[in-house]
Amino acid sequence: MTDTKIAIFRNKKIRKTIHKNEWWFVMEDVVVALTDSLNPKDYINKMRRRDNELSKGYGQIVHTLSIETRGGRQKMNCANTEGIFRIIQSIPSPKAEPFKRWLARVGYERVQEIENPEL
């Protein structure tokens, strides 16, 4: 059994746990932090309907893990860092835009490094 930790993003709590030697984050918490949705499960379902490619790969991105909650341990949908990045790309909320821009900049810088290793 692994411990559940709390990460803070813009004053919102995001539960995370170690699984297979990497951090996995609770999907509902990420959606609430980036959208203020009152019904994150419904938001995720609508997001999957909008983004066909996300929906196709969802089973590989999201895993059900045991997470500590106020009511005890519960199975919750979680994604690792790579999966969270993919999911955030499908969130049309203005709150996700700064993160998307940062992600695009980091990706661009990485491509530049690959093309010109001396950078």
CB-neighbour burial class of residue 9 (10 A; exposed 0-12, middle 13-18, buried 19+) = middle
Whole-model pTM? Answer: 0.78
The chain-wide mean pLDDT, for the chain, equals 87
Find the radius of gyration of the CA atoms of the chain.
15
pLDDT (tens digit, 0 to 9) for every residue of the chain, 119 residues total?
567 666 666 677 889 999 999 999 999 999 998 898 999 999 999 999 999 999 999 999 999 999 998 999 999 999 998 999 899 889 988 888 887 887 788 778 878 888 887 76
Cα–Cα distances in angstroms (integers) from residue 76 to residues 15, 26, 41, 86, in the given order: 10, 7, 11, 18
